[in-house]
Amino acid sequence: MAPALQTFGLDKRFGGIVAANDVSLHVEKGARHALIGPNGAGKTTLVNLLTGLLQPTSGRILLDGNEITHLKPHKRVKLGLTRTFQINQLFFELTPFETVALAVCEREGLGGTWWRLLASRRELVAEVVSILERFGLADVMEERTVTLPYGKQRLLEIALAIASQPSVLLLDEPAAGVPEDERQAILTIVAALPSDVTVLLIEHDMDLVFKFASFISVLVNGALFVQGTPEQIAGDSRVREVYLGEAAHA
Amino acid sequence: MKSSAPNQLKGSFETRARWQPLEVLFWVAAFASYYFLPGKHLILTEIAILALFALSLDLILGYAGIVSLGHAAFFGFGAYVAGLLAKHQLVTEPLLALLLAGLAAMLLGFVTSFLVLRGSDLTRIMVTLGVALVLREIANRYAWLTGGADGLQGVSMDPLLGLFRFDMFGRTAHAYTLIVLFVLFLLARRIVNSPFGLSLQAIKGNALRAAAVGVAVNARLVAVYTMAAFYAGIAGALLTQTTAFASLDVFSFERSADLLLVLIIGGTGYLYGGLIGAIVFKLMQDYLSALTPQYWPFWIGLVLVVIVLVGRDRFSSWTLPLRRLAARLDWRAQLPRRSVGGGG
């Protein structure tokens, strides 16, 4: 069985800066895979390469064994690869209802439909509402997104990705900047994702990583540094050094 | 709880898709003007044409966030195509000629849409401006076809549908443009309340995320730009057909710039902005040019400055209390909702 997501020798250079250096990552189907690393290790660059926001300088990316290296971002979404953003990327003038409806419409291939009213699809409306209920957003679903508190926006950010029903979900620091009481809601939702969804979690928060992940890859200076189970990573002196080194700087 | 939730959905796309009493009133008034303002057919026809043109710009600016300062390119193209069809007796039935002119402008819109895909607002302003200027110069250069600076003379058409002659009082022209405007408005209303319309608003809000949700951003922008060009072409063709004349100024920069002004007055992104803006703009122009035949652009300019200073949002929110009132007056809102699919 082909891994859900694979890269081979992925390189990305910005002028003289090497943001990704020969990254060969294998994410198994249904994995709870975490990608960690100190600030500036190239985690977000890697996510941008995987989702097509950036083109690699060299290397290949396979999704379910199919080459996607040069596909446009929206085509990768259609193939089941979806992401959340470290910094919320939302539609401020739309409501949560409209936001999630957009993702559901695109998933169903209705996005180009202009001769039928959105509201006339009852089953679609029901699904959107049920997703919003799951994320505790039902009571604000008709407010403009810009008026929502940050924690709710963060939940919407994740709801939007999940509404696409991805087979591979990339979560880029889902809990970043979320207040403690809403943090739990996000953790619960992430933990409750169906087991056939492959999750690659990019995270800074070790607590969350060790609670969630069954496999961890450590990225340092754009290259894969160590990989292994949480126990192996926790016991690895080199990883500790990298993080302690960073802690000493900070 | 779960099953009842969709039925409680009040705002968003559903209410927007349903007809508000105020909207009905607006269109009743528009059609009533034909009977109650018999001496005003000419200016009302001009207003309807400008409103259709503004509706076209609102589709790309208000919904997809594409700024254009050369929308007259499509208006002018439609105007000349309609004129040439009539002059050379190629298609003499006005409605069919109107459709062909719209389709020709649509084709031009499709071809030039690829120029506005990339780049910032500033690039788009320059590119759209450039396209309009190029077309104007082509029309100027090929005078054997277009009449050049003298304009296209000798436009004559058969009666509309073989029944209604264009009379000197502009009665037929008025009814004709108003009906075309209404039909195309209905279509636009449907488009913006569709999943396609939603995806346009998403692109306007955040193109990066729209793509990350699976929206084919470029294809949608091409589609809406092409549709808008059709609308603009129809507006231009209506001008030619109702005045039996087309001149180079259909492509002029002022026409594109005035159009933006119309939308600034009326507000963007709710379709009525273009219609209301067109009414205000034309009446203002009419009044001011009667008052000071030479200096009326001064007053228009002053009004523009005031609008910008007072704040565009506040101006376009003029209609907000009206819209709220409309929602309160909406008797259907008091009834239990039958189904979510009640829109349309």
What one-character DSSP code corresponds to residue A7? E
Q: What average pLDDT does chain A have?
A: 89
Give pLDDT, residue B65: 92
- Furthest C-alpha separation in chain B: 71
pLDDT in tens, B234-292: 999 999 999 989 999 999 999 999 999 899 888 888 999 999 999 999 998 888 888 88
Does A147 contact chain B (CB < 8 Å)? no
Read off the pLDDT of each residue in B14-23 and give the average, rounded to a whole number. Answer: 76
Token representation of residue A248: 């000493």
Chain A hits for B12, Cβ within 8 Å: 95, 97-98, 142
Give pLDDT, residue B134: 96
| Contact between residue B204 and residue B63 where contact means Cβ atoms under 8 Å apart | yes
What one-character DSSP code corresponds to residue B61? I
Give pLDDT, residue A83: 95
Chain A hits for B216, Cβ within 8 Å: 74, 111-112
Non-local (6+) Cβ contacts of B134 within 8 A are: none
Pick the residue of B9, B193, B198, B217 with the most A CBs within 10 A to test the interface with A by mutation.
Answer: B198
Question: Highest mean pLDDT range out of A28-32, A125-129, B53-57, B303-307?
Answer: B53-57
Give pLDDT, residue B176: 94
Read off the pLDDT of each residue in B34-45 and give the average, rounded to a whole number. Answer: 88
Does A89 contact chain B (CB < 8 Å)? yes
- Return d(Cα B285, Cα B305) in angstroms, integer: 16
Pick the residue of A95, A98, A114 with the most B CBs within 10 A to test the interface with B by mutation.
Answer: A114
pLDDT tier for residue B327 given thresholds of 50, 70 and 90: low
pLDDT tier for residue B29 given thresholds of 50, 70 and 90: very high
Give pLDDT, residue A250: 43
What one-character DSSP code corresponds to residue A57? S
CATH of A5-249, one of 3.40.50.300, 3.30.420.40, 2.40.30.10, 3.20.20.70: 3.40.50.300
Interchain proximity A142–B201, CB inside 8 Å: no
pLDDT tops 90 at residue B54: yes
pLDDT tops 50 at residue B310: yes
- Return d(Cα B40, Cα B47) in angstroms, integer: 11
Read off the pLDDT of each residue in A93-112 and give the average, rounded to a whole number. Answer: 92
Q: Looking at the DSSP assignment, which residues form a beta bridge with residue A207?
A: none
Does A109 contact chain B (CB < 8 Å)? no
Non-local (6+) Cβ contacts of B193 within 8 A are: A117, A118, A119, B13, B16, B17, B343
Strand order in the sheet with A168-172: A81-83, A168-172, A198-202, A32-36, A215-220, A223-228
Interchain proximity B197–A114, CB inside 8 Å: yes
Cα–Cα distances in angstroms (integers) from residue A32 to residues A35, B99, B243, in the given order: 10, 57, 70
pLDDT tier for residue A29 given thresholds of 50, 70 and 90: very high
Read off the pLDDT of each residue in A4-15 and give the average, rounded to a whole number. Answer: 93
Share of chain B above pLDDT 90, in %: 57
The CA distance from B270 to the nearest CA of chain A, in Å, is 13
Does A68 contact chain B (CB < 8 Å)? no
pLDDT tier for residue B45 given thresholds of 50, 70 and 90: very high
Of A18-32, B66-80, B149-163, where does mean pLDDT reach its minimum?
Answer: B149-163
pLDDT tier for residue A189 given thresholds of 50, 70 and 90: confident
pLDDT tops 50 at residue B336: no
Does A48 contact chain B (CB < 8 Å)? no
Give pLDDT, residue B326: 53
**Which of B12, B209, B339 minimises the CB distance to A122?**
B339
A41: helix, strand or coil: coil
The CA distance from B337 to the nearest CA of chain A, in Å, is 13
Give pLDDT, residue B105: 97
What one-character DSSP code corresponds to residue B160? B
Residue B104 or B332, more confident:
B104
Question: At B100, phi and psi to the nearest 5?
Answer: -65, -40
Share of chain B above pLDDT 70, in %: 85
Does A28 contact chain B (CB < 8 Å)? no
Give pLDDT, residue A183: 82
pLDDT in tens, A53-95: 999 999 999 999 999 999 999 999 999 999 999 999 999 999 9
pLDDT in tens, B148-173: 888 898 888 888 887 788 887 788 99
Q: Is the dihedral of CA B259, B265, B268, B272 positive or negative?
A: negative
pLDDT tops 70 at residue B331: no
Of A108-117, A126-135, A191-200, where does mean pLDDT reach its minimum?
Answer: A108-117
CA–CA–CA angle B206, A124, A201 (5° rounding):
55
State ipTM: 0.90
